Amino acid sequence: MKRKKSDPKCAKKHLERLREMIAKDPPPLYKMSKEEIIRQLRKTREEIWEEKLAARP
Distance from chain centroid for Cα 53? 25
pLDDT of amino acid 55: 72
* pLDDT (0 to 100) of residue 31: 84
* Predicted local distance difference test score (pLDDT) of residue 2: 58
Q: What is the mean pLDDT of each run of 10 residues along the chain (57 residues)?
A: 73 93 86 92 93 76
What is the distance of C-alpha 46 from the center of its chain?
A: 18
What is the structure's pLDDT at 46?
93
CB 40 within 8 Å of CB 32: yes
